Structure 1
Amino acid sequence: MKVKLSSKTPKSFLTKTGGFLKDYDYSLNPYTGCAFGCSYCYVRRLPVSLFRKEEWGTWVDVKKAGRESFVRELKRAKSRGPVRIFMSSSTDPYQGEEAKEEVTRVLLSAMAEEKPDFLFVQTRSPLITRDIDMFQELKTRILVSMTIETDRDEVRKAFAPSSPPLAARLKALKQLSSAGIPTQAAVAPMLPFTDHFPEKLKQVTDIVTLDDFFQGDGAGGRRSASLGAHDILIQLKEEDWFDPERIEMERTRFERVFGKKNVRISQNGFAPFR
């Protein structure tokens, strides 16, 4: 799919948070829009998407970043209190354009100098391994969360055909973990997977977060249903996965592999380590 690109230079990058991200002080989005265009993405129902004429996934605004200006922004934020950052809440910081634009890398280089109290990096892109050197600068102040919703590629293609292949994500997560970066797999939203999925994830990380279409969509499943998630599951003959009780059954399965303390659920799974 052809993605329409545009550029802008924002006055600031850090945005105060609340709600689902109440455990953080700021969100950080290097881009507006996301070329992965996942069908279930809650951002499709937010103003940033609804006020655009183009379909979600067909446009990306590149936020031009200056390293020194972001260092100054971090210093100002730190003078006012804790700086715990969630990157990113409404885009993927490692979508394809990042390979050329390097907005995320510029922001990370600033954070390596003026370190935040904590940085949570959420992505589904193998490109993230490019920045292992930056993550190592932050040591224990970081958690990298790789979205791996399923181990069935036909399910991935049904929900997010433009997203990176599952095998590449698993390989990237293993590489991050092996480099000493704190990591987790985010099975979010939880899509139909095989019985061996927990064991596959345990080979590449020690922590997993589960979320579903009910706790995670902010509307008790109504938003996900309106985005067609239930319809896709029906087409896949997997409609029993659209069930608010399913996550507890799968939680037990993952706890047998990871242990109870290493299986986190929904909002708690995206909070800083305590």
Structure 2
Amino acid sequence: MKLETERDPDGGWYDRFVQLVDDQGHVVEEFGKNPTLNELREAERRHSTRINLWQQGLVCDECGNQINERFSARQDGHLLCWDCATSSESHEQGGLRINADPTKSVLSESKLHKKSLCDYVINVATGCRHGCKFCYVPSTPAVDNRDEMLDDRADVDDPQQDWGDYLLYRDDLPERVQRGLEETDFQNWKTTDRGRGIVMLSSGTDCYQDRRAAQITRGCVHELIEHDIPTRILTRSPNVTRDIDLFKQANGSLTVGSSIPSFDTSLISVLEPNAPPPMARWEALNELFKAGVPRFVSFSPTYPTMGREDIHEALSWFSAIDPEVVFHEPINPRGINFEMCIEALEDEGLESEADEFRKLQRQGKWVDYALDQIEMVRDVATHFENITIHTWPGRDLIEATNGTQQRKFKQMRRQISPEPFAE
């Protein structure tokens, strides 16, 4: 399917009627004049197709120039050419500063193959509305080295402290992914032993955190499926179920997972202030289970407040949705993000929980905690026939151990996730 436009003889250059036609030229849907980006993207989902918005006769709502290359949209959803989009000021929506993301990269090579997650990542935005206090993303070069851009585009003073308050969308990413894949020499496609050529959405933001992000994600995933590329989706949002129809078209070459570090809502609401509750995430995984979509769980980062009973409860819920794998990592006390976790707990009056987190900052205490929790999770998992734990101990944890324990951790780091979807 494609778009066709027809100028209104009584209007100006940018005054055009837009309609969607099938391969036989039959009109499938009429949009009237100047449809919004939301209307066009939702039509893709409604008709289970991809609509390339480049060079289709669509015009910028501000200057009237035709949309031939990069584009974004205003707050009201009307399309903007790239010149107009990059000159516009950010706007606030529910306390969130929003703008267009000028990032040029489309498909980025990733070191997450070390965790057996992927070889490439696609991020549909910079920033994330969830605002998880423990999130390491703002300290990575992809965000931390772009202070000037973030200040210019979204008035960001500190990428880490402001995490959860800014979101820059990549609205034209599906079009750029399509072009990039069409020009890709797949003989040179990076495929490591543990990454297995997988593309993951998203490592730096939640790709289903709202409808606009979900629309970008759907277009990208559609293109990846068209090119038979193994795809991993990781999200905290129940919005992921909106695309079950698309996931089923992947014929098993795609897996969808959710991050559920705990089912303790009092902790989750403090440490992940704007994220959906853990049970809503589980219910989304259950919908995927019933639809036959391959799924996994990211049991990460688990908290020092969690004992054997808490871990057993979590794995019981995971077992009910029959995941292909459960990725696990205990929380790491490095960085300002860990300090933000402690401050958030204290601000909410959770003093005993804050003390448990604070203890991990003592010399050697984190190592003991991490060792105990990794062993506990793996031991509890043996009580469930359908739970396989994939643990990735960090290098600092390995260096803090020796002998049999160190050899065991090194072996864990070399293991490949048992998921069959990328084979």
Same fold by TM-score greater than 0.5: yes
CA contact (8 A) 1:87 1:120 kept: yes
**1:3 CA displacement:** 0.8
Structure 1's 89 and 112: CA in aligned 2 closer, same or farther, altered over 3 A? same
| Cα separation, 2, equivalents of 1:9 and 1:49 | 13
Work out whether 1:247 is the aligned partner of 2:374. yes
What amino acid is the match of 1:198?
Answer: L
SS of structure 2 residue aligned to 1:211: strand
CA distance in 2, matches of 1:271, 1:20: 10
Contact 2:224 2:231 in 1 (8 A): no
Where in structure 2 are the equivalents of 1:22-171 lying within 5 Å? 24-50=118-144, 51=147, 52=150, 53-54=156-157, 55-65=162-172, 67-77=174-184, 78-82=186-190, 83-98=197-212, 102-116=215-229, 118-171=230-283
Q: CA deviation at 1:85?
A: 0.6
Larger Rg: 2
Sequence identity, in percent?
A: 24
Change beyond 3 A, Cα 1:272–1:11: farther
- Aligned equivalents of 2:219 and 2:257: distance in 1? 20
Query: What is the root-mean-square deviation of aligned Cα atoms in Å?
Result: 2.9
Which residue number corresponds to residue 217 of structure 1?
none
- 1:96-122 alpha-carbon deviations (Å, 9 max, x no partner): 2536x6111111122232221x11111
CA contact (8 A) 2:134 2:338 kept: no
CA separation of 1:124/1:19 partners in 2, compared to 1, >3 Å: closer, same or farther?
Answer: closer
Unaligned runs of 5+ in 2: 1-93, 151-155, 191-196, 361-365, 394-412
TM-score (ref. length: structure 2): 0.56
For the 8 Å contact 1:224–1:230, the answer to whether it is kept is no
Corresponding letter in the other structure for 2:200: F
What are structure 1's unaligned runs of at least 5 residues?
215-220
Q: How far off is 1:11 after superposition? A: 4.1
> Secondary structure at the residue paired with 1:121?
strand
Specify the code of the residue in structure 1 equivalent to 2:327.
T
**CA–CA distance in structure 2, aligned partners of residues 157 and 270 of structure 1:** 33
The count of corresponding residues between Structure 1 and Structure 2 is 265
Distance, in Å, in 2 between the alignment partners of 1:115 and 1:234 is 50
Greater relative contact order (Cα < 8 A, sep 6+) = 1
After TM superposition, the score normalised by the length of structure 1 is: 0.84
2:391 pairs with one of 254, 265, 271: 265
Cα contact 2:132–2:272 (8 A) shared by 1 = yes
The verdict on how the C-alpha distance between 1:59 and 1:108 changes in structure 2, with shifts beyond 3 A counting, is same
**More displaced stretch, 62-71 vs 118-127:** 62-71
Q: Which amino acid aligns with 2:165?
A: T
Q: Distance in 2 between matches of 1:224 and 1:273?
A: 34
How far apart are the structure 1 equivalents of 2:416 and 2:134? Answer: 18
Q: Which residue number corresponds to residue 4 of structure 1? A: 97
Query: One-letter code of the match for 2:216?
Result: V
Measured after TM superposition, the shift of residue 188 of structure 1 is 0.5
